[in-house]
Amino acid sequence: MSAPAEIRAGGNPLALWRAVRSGVARPRLARACRAAIEAGHRAILAAAAGERAVYGLNTGFGKLALVRVPPERLAELQVNLVRSHQAGVGEPLPAPVVRLALALKLASLAHGASGVQPALCELLEAMLERDLLPVIPAQGSVGASGDLAPLAHLAAVLIGEGEAVLAGERLPGAAALGRAGLAPVRLGPKEGLALLNGTQVSTALALDALFALEPVLQASLVVGAASVDAAAGSDTPFDPRIHALRGHPGQIAVAAVLRALIEGSAIRRSHLEGDPRVQDPYSLRCQPQVAGACLDLVRQAAATLEREANGATDNPLVLADTGEVLSGGNFHAEPVAFAADQIALAICELGNIAQRRCALLCDPALTGLPAFLVREPGLRSGFMVAEIASAALASENRQKAAPASIDTIPTSINQEDHVSMAAHGARRLGPMVDNLARIVAIEALMAAQGIELRAPLETSPRLSRFLEAVRAVAPPLEEDRPLAPDIVAVAGLVRDGTLAAILEPAERASLLGEGA
Catalytic, out of 17, 21, 55, 267 = 55
Contacts of residue 464, defined as CB under 8 A and 6 or more positions apart, other chains included, come to: 458
DSSP assigned state of 72: G
Determine whether 282 is an active site residue: no
* Backbone φ/ψ region at 240: left (φ over 0), alpha (ψ -120 to 50), beta: alpha
For 4-108, list the strands marked E by DSSP: 6-7, 28-29, 89-92
Asked if residues 451 and 351 have their Cβ atoms less than 8 Å apart, the reply is: no
Is the CB of residue 192 less than 8 Å from the CB of residue 146?
no
Which of 249, 420, 254, 399 has the alpha carbon at shortest distance from 340? Answer: 420
CA distance 194 to 132: 20
Please, which contacts does 251-254 make with residues 24 or more away whose CB atoms are closer than 8 Å?
251/288, 251/289, 251/292, 251/293, 251/296, 252/288, 252/292, 253/292, 253/295, 253/510, 253/511, 254/221, 254/287, 254/288, 254/291, 254/292, 254/295, 254/511
What CA–CA distance (Å, rounded) separates 516 from 512? 6
The DSSP output letter for 60 is: -
Helix, coil or strand: residue 233:
coil
* 184 close to 159: Cβ distance less than 8 angstroms: yes
Provide the annotated active-site residues: 55
